[in-house]
Chains A and B, each alone.
Chain A
């Protein structure tokens, strides 16, 4: 059963969208496939949420509609011919907006809430308070599934340094986070601040949240604020700026008179700021005994309380400890348990296991990889080689896309069953092609800074390949497989598919140090599978650095074939007569090719006898240059011939998790010259003693000279190193891991 979600508006900074993403995260962990649909999809977010018109649920699917203020989607929900559920985020009481057009929309929202009750089989309140309102509105099957946050996203390291610096100043600093709306009672915050500055003249009040500069309410607040020192309206902030605001405050105060949950309360807890909040609606429930809830707005008293909380270290510590405890109550795990209970047995994604007529003799394993067959790419080739060596032992099925090009993800192969070199392949179409330029622009906006989940998930969606058919297959056919092997941590099928079958999954991360590995959205990928099948000790260290709670990891690597290479054959076939450096692989900027071309050009200018540079593989850039020979894609034997004859093989990429090319060069007794910015490559070179690393032009030239002088002894060391990588050892490691899964399944 797929569980789709329907939201009125999916735009950046919207709390409901964030809640829907969190729910989707939990649903995936529970094995459910499901997409997001919205009445309004924010510009640029089309890869993450679909328009309402695309919603076509199957009769057994469940559609969860997120309801708040009046929306035409309530009518849509009632007429959907599938199972229907509702997530209630509460509606501000109309009494706060009497005489304004908003009152109509608020009351309509409540009428819609009551109207939907008979048509909904499952109702979810994000707090017990909301659940009580659902019951009052006539709902029967009501469950509370609390909202949650990801506390690590509010760590000091996530704070925007510039804003942090700007907000430094005398205290006490009081913070409130909310959109500026009358029922949030910002006038009460100003009244509190007026009392506080009498006690501590340097006190500051930071107000974070969207506001309409021209609105009468905001203008009246501004007028009052002008009479007080230290009031700052910071407006809407990016995530890292928001964290900086939290981390600059000594106390968080909420004066709101209606909250259906109050997410900023727990964000403040995660940012280690003591919370003082007026105990309205769901606020006491959200606080759960942590922080301090008060029942009267006695401002001089509250000002004294703020001073007490900021200056009494013992009280401050006790509050922070209590808040940390409360945060663990409001964890994703607890929300998932509540959601599982809400969905109940009827929604179990596991169909009753069909007893096969005969027990299969061999384990059935699915290998999930973003592309397969006739494609260039280290991870894809790794997957292909592993499949070929595992095929004699297991019943393998390759689950992949119809894409051939990893930049555009354009569908090239026909969908459905296929065979590649005797291996059964099941292909699913990609639903969105990628335009690499806007994608690179997006990357620049999210790399090297702290983001909220929405922005990271958006990046993953734009990265692609978007392949809902594959994810749906994982849900519906999970019982057809004993285990899964996912390839490459980076791509959408792994990020979204792996959590659905994590307890039977081996992940081959092929991880390297690149900006997205820092995204919190990858936590499930590294923390939930049964085991990480890494390529090098450096890869394990890297994962450990970013995900200390990662799943068990072991270094497995790949086997290296050592076919006889004939340098003469390659030279004759391609007319290469001078000594040459060689690179084989994808020829694109991300692989460090521009830097290699630049070094080679400088080398030619300095030395008349400089070797040629031979490039082979799929080209995605201009490769012109004196002494540069592009030979196009070459077959396996041609590659080994080329490797055997090269003066040295150059590996210019900074981002490598193994570098098959390095191992294959060693297998042909050819030394390597590698990018010294890659820990993995440096590790390979140091362990083998069969090459040199470079970081700039000078070290490139020095390294090349040394490699040229010691080619034979280095080649010998390389061959000895390559012999350690044997396929029988690799296959044995995979079999051992599968046996563990099968054994657990039997028990």
Chain B
């Protein structure tokens, strides 16, 4: 255990409290999970959005059944499940044109984002090929990129 604070005699305070814990027969230090430190990594918007579009392009597919409520919330989940089971054919029919439209949006985004990546690469190559006129500014460190979230299981 570490105590941080400019206005406290940390070592003395810890010793005093640990002594009291010992007298009470309690462990003075417990194994505890220390949460992840550091800043959150960058989420690459192009790949994140493309993957999100791929996952959500079909509006007839249900989202995972979920409720943050207890009690009545469970009933709502069952009702939603029953609705899906009995009305999926109608849902498919109602949203068929939306599915086609979303597919075009997804494909267009895929093409445009690929173009953006290709153009960025070309710009970098051109910049690298150009002889430097003055001391170039130091490039910022490459940000840490995490893969986007795992795919959701497809609903049956």
- Where the two chains meet, the residues of A that have a C-beta atom closer than 8 Å to any C-beta of B are 91, 93-95, 99-101, 103-104, 107-108, 110-115, 129, 132-133, 135-138, 140, 212, 214-217, 219, 257, 279-280, 284, 287, 289-298, 300-301, 304-305, 308, 315, 318-319, 321-323
B71 within 8 Å of A by Cβ?
A: yes
Q: Given contacts A140-B140, A298-B32, is CB(A107)–CB(B5) below 8 Å?
A: no
Q: A290 contacts B69, CB within 8 Å?
A: no
B3 within 8 Å of A by Cβ?
A: yes
The stretch of B20-28, B83-91, B98-106, B126-134 in contact with A is B20-28
> In whole Å, how far is A466's beta carbon from the nearest beta carbon of chain B?
38
A137 nearest in chain B by CB position: B42
B68 within 8 Å of A by Cβ?
A: yes
Q: Which residues of A contact B6 (CB under 8 A)?
A: 289-290, 322
Q: Given contacts A298-B1, A304-B21, is CB(A99)–CB(B16) below 8 Å?
A: no
Q: List 27 A-B contacts (CB under 8 A).
A: A99-B64, A108-B48, A110-B43, A111-B45, A114-B44, A114-B45, A136-B39, A137-B42, A137-B143, A212-B69, A214-B71, A215-B69, A215-B70, A279-B4, A289-B5, A290-B6, A290-B7, A292-B3, A292-B8, A296-B2, A298-B29, A300-B21, A301-B1, A304-B20, A319-B7, A321-B7, A322-B5
A319 nearest in chain B by CB position: B7
Q: What's the dominant secondary structure at chain B's contact region?
A: loop
Q: Which residues of A contact B49 (CB under 8 A)?
A: 111, 115
Q: B68 contacts A217, CB within 8 Å?
A: yes
B59-90 interface bits toward A, Cβ cutoff 8 Å, 1 = contact, 0 = none: 00001101111111100000000000000000
Q: B39 contacts A132, CB within 8 Å?
A: yes
Q: Given contacts A140-B140, A290-B7, A315-B8, is CB(A115)–CB(B68) below 8 Å?
A: no
B27-61 interface bits toward A, Cβ cutoff 8 Å, 1 = contact, 0 = none: 01110101110011111111011001000000000
Q: Which residues of B contact A308 (CB under 8 A)?
A: 13, 16-17
How far apart are the CA atoms of A411 and B4 in the complex, in Å? 60
B14 nearest in chain A by CB position: A301
> In whole Å, how far is B56's beta carbon from the nearest beta carbon of chain A?
9
Contact of A214 among B21, B44, B73 (CB under 8 A): B73
> In whole Å, how far is B75's beta carbon from the nearest beta carbon of chain A?
12
Q: B5 contacts A138, CB within 8 Å?
A: no
> In whole Å, how far is A41's beta carbon from the nearest beta carbon of chain B?
27
B11 within 8 Å of A by Cβ?
A: no
Q: Which residues of A contact B72 (CB under 8 A)?
A: 214
Q: B17 contacts A304, CB within 8 Å?
A: yes
Q: Which residues of B contact A215 (CB under 8 A)?
A: 68-70
How far apart are the CA atoms of A280 and B35 in the complex, in Å? 8
> In whole Å, how far is A546's beta carbon from the nearest beta carbon of chain B?
33
Q: B45 contacts A290, CB within 8 Å?
A: no
How far apart are the CA atoms of A111 and B45 in the complex, in Å? 4
Of listed A94, A114, A132, A287, residue having the most chain B CB within 10 A: A114
Q: A216 contacts B43, CB within 8 Å?
A: no
How far apart are the CA atoms of A88 and B6 in the complex, in Å? 29
> In whole Å, how far is B14's beta carbon from the nearest beta carbon of chain A?
8
How far apart are the CA atoms of A172 and B149 in the complex, in Å? 44
Q: A214 contacts B69, CB within 8 Å?
A: yes
How far apart are the CA atoms of A290 and B67 in the complex, in Å? 41
How far apart are the CA atoms of A129 and B38 in the complex, in Å? 9
B151 within 8 Å of A by Cβ?
A: no
How far apart are the CA atoms of A114 and B49 in the complex, in Å? 12
> In whole Å, how far is B134's beta carbon from the nearest beta carbon of chain A?
18
> In whole Å, how far is B9's beta carbon from the nearest beta carbon of chain A?
8
B117 within 8 Å of A by Cβ?
A: no
Q: Given contacts A94-B149, A107-B148, is CB(A294)–CB(B4) below 8 Å?
A: yes
Q: B28 contacts A301, CB within 8 Å?
A: yes
Q: B149 contacts A103, CB within 8 Å?
A: yes
Q: Given contacts A140-B140, A308-B13, is CB(A114)–CB(B43) below 8 Å?
A: yes
Q: Which residues of B contact A137 (CB under 8 A)?
A: 42, 143
B154 within 8 Å of A by Cβ?
A: no
Q: Which residues of A contact B148 (CB under 8 A)?
A: 107, 111
How far apart are the CA atoms of A304 and B66 in the complex, in Å? 40
B156 within 8 Å of A by Cβ?
A: no
Q: Given contacts A135-B140, A257-B35, A300-B26, is CB(A108)–CB(B66) below 8 Å?
A: no
Q: B45 contacts A294, CB within 8 Å?
A: no
How far apart are the CA atoms of A107 and B150 in the complex, in Å? 12
How far apart are the CA atoms of A62 and B34 in the complex, in Å? 41
Q: A100 contacts B40, CB within 8 Å?
A: no
Q: B45 contacts A112, CB within 8 Å?
A: yes
